[in-house]
Chains A and B, each alone.
Chain A
Amino acid sequence: MDLIWYLIVSALIFCIGAGGVLTRRNPLVVLLCLELMLNAANLALVAFARAHGDMGGQIFALMVMVVAACEVAVGLGLVVAIYRRRLPIDVDELRELQG
């Protein structure tokens, strides 16, 4: 299959993720969408690695998975801390700091 199809799928996933981050309110779903964005990049990396016959991209994708796990761990920790403080779990209602 042509490389371009992989890139199209990956771009679609990236856009779905970005759209989700912008529109969804539940921080858990937002974190999920962030994972989508990172994994879209992973798909592109692996597809490019295959196309170039170079292992660097696959190593890169592995590293990204580790980093994504760290990020989600911190994100979930913060969500739990906020929940304990009984703040609204809705990113639109986090309005203490008004931009």
Chain B
Amino acid sequence: MTGLLAQATTKGPPINWEALSPFIALVAGGCIVLLVGLARSAFIRRQVVPVLTLLTLGATAGLGVWQWDINEGIVANAMVVDNLTLALTMIFVAGGIAAVFLSWRSIASAEAGEGEYYALMLMSILGMLVLVAANDLVVLFIGFELLSIPLYVLCATHMRREQSLESGLKYLIIGSVGSATLLYGLAMLYGAAGGTNYGDIAAVAAEMADDTLFMVGIGLVLAGLAFKASVAPFHQWTPDVYEGAPTPVTGFMAVATKAAAFGVIIRLFVGPLIDATTTWAPAFATLAVITIIVGNVGALGQSSLKRMLAYSSVAQAGYMIAGVVVTTQLGIAATVFYLAIYVVMNLAAFAVITARERETGLGDDISSLYGLGRDRPFLAWPMTIAMLALAGFPVTAGFFGKIYLINAAVNNGYGWLGVVIVVGSAISLAYYLRVVAAVWMREAPAASTSLSAVPIMAGGSPEGDEAAYAAGREPGADVGRVVSEDFGEPSIITSGPRISQPEVIFVAVFCALVTIAFGVYPEPLMDVARDAGEALQSLR
């Protein structure tokens, strides 16, 4: 019997538990959060569960730092934990932590059940980790779906709002088409290579580069991943889903999903498919041009801030493709750098949108920002900095992000792509500066929808619900008894009432400060990005 046991233990693949620890932390944290979320006490559900989520994310980041510079394949070489994986892990964790802060008092998390909401978020982050660590087609697909399926649910968590459900279903259908396309492409790659490991694919990539099966596979994989990275022409879902999803989820989706999609594109295309560059690089470069144009032109006429940021995220995806097609370590480092600063720039903007959504009842319309510059400096400045950084102004991190990308493109013969990036940024000024103008140069409407009017709309209007909930009332609970207590005062408050939401303002201010800090002194972040680029040793 003991002999049998001894034999049995030798059969499994050797597992490096230390390298696997960030993954384990997320799984364990997700399970604990889910269970604690079942508690009856509202205090535990509303306060303890988010704190546990933050602790889990902190532990993941800590374990990631501990494993820095490990660079090895784990679990029978099905996954690779190297500096690229770990650098992207930090990006996901940063996005997750900010999303937890933004969701803390949101109605979506209360309606879905805090435990489920935060557990889904943790599982989605786990999916991103698995996706960028994948060194095997099976693991890639599992990670892709583990990322996506929780996000479909998260988009629909604001269940009393029709748009939220609608965006969830739309995302599910379009996302599933994307994953089916990706899967069919993976099947073709498997058929061409005869094995699911990236090593098997790398072994045949050079000779198969012109093989029909292999090329069809690459094309379908590229299309499937382009859906997730919202690269035009596979971006149509982005504005709808971004607008309909609860704002904290949109923020999370915008930054973390983008990083995960680019992580896997780097891992797969600049990894095993590097010898087939002549097959996929022209296609990718074309997509980059289309994406930059479509994203920037699409954002021009939008009055909804979330739709505007959705199109802007499409455009940013186009910029980042430039770092991938050049297939150099410099390009990868530039892409990772851009992904990192993209997280802070966007989260600052989404934090301000969340705050204003709760205060004004105007939703995410650009008019919710009117008059912000006069009396809300802690919201006005982060929004301004975020917009200027997204446009690529100097003294913000966005400037260095674009510089590094253009530098990488020019260094490897893609100078024309650098020109396209510059032209795209010039167009983008039009819509980013419109937001800045709305913040500083417009007066708040004289009789703005203040909280006093909110209960009237509660129940009917989702934004009113959000405002009422953030102010500590049960949404929809006081529909009947409105007029007597709240209706009287003529509202002189110009920019909506102040609701105490220090965590949202903290996210906005912190992200803005980080944006400025890396805009002045980008070297530390660039060092990390360079480490991540050097993880791909096959490149120069």
Contacts and interface: CB of A to CB of B under 8 A. Distances in A.
Interface in A62-83: 63-64, 67, 70-71, 74-75, 77-79, 81-82
Contact of A56 (B167, B173, B176, B190): B190
B169 interface: yes
Interface string A42-77: 001101100110101101100110010011001101
Q: Is the interface of A mostly helix, strand, loop or mixed?
A: helix
Contacts, number: 130
A97 B138 contact: no
B138 A63 contact: yes
Interface in B295-352: none
B209 interface: no
Nearest to A70: B149
A63 to B, nearest CB: 6
B252 interface: no
Contacts of A45: 187, 190
A45 B184 CA distance: 9
Given A75-B169, A78-B168, A85-B162, A63 B239 contact: no
B308 to A, nearest CB: 14
Contact of A71 (B149, B184, B243): B149
A82 to B, nearest CB: 5
A64 B183 contact: yes
B294 interface: no
B456 interface: no
Given A44-B191, A64-B183, A94 B170 contact: yes
A92 B100 CA distance: 34
B243 A38 contact: no
Given A37-B180, A71-B176, A99-B239, A56 B138 contact: yes
Interface string A2-38: 0000010000001001100100000100110010011
B165 A67 contact: no
A28 to B, nearest CB: 12
B159 A81 contact: yes
A30 B239 CA distance: 21
Interface string B354-392: 000000000000000000000000000000000000000
Contact of A41 (B165, B166, B180, B243): B180
B184 A97 contact: no
B156 interface: yes
Contacts of B159: 81, 85
A97 B177 contact: no
B195 interface: yes
A81 B196 CA distance: 38
A14 B186 CA distance: 14
B75 to A, nearest CB: 14
Nearest to A98: B240
B141 A60 contact: yes
A44 B162 contact: no
Contact of B191 (A27, A31, A51): A51
A41 B189 CA distance: 12
Given A18-B180, A59-B196, A96-B162, 18 more contacts: A14-B184, A18-B177, A27-B173, A37-B184, A38-B180, A41-B180, A47-B191, A48-B187, A51-B191, A67-B145, A71-B176, A74-B152, A74-B172, A75-B173, A78-B172, A81-B159, A97-B167, A99-B236
Interface of A: 7, 14, 17-18, 21, 27, 30-31, 34, 37-38, 40-41, 44-45, 47-48, 51-52, 54, 56-57, 59-60, 63-64, 67, 70-71, 74-75, 77-79, 81-82, 85, 87, 91, 94, 96-99
Interface of B: 137-138, 141-142, 145, 149, 152-153, 156, 159, 162-163, 165-170, 172-173, 176-177, 179-181, 183-184, 186-188, 190-191, 194-197, 236, 239-240, 243-244
4 tightest A-B CB contacts, nearest first: A37-B180, A48-B191, A97-B240, A56-B196
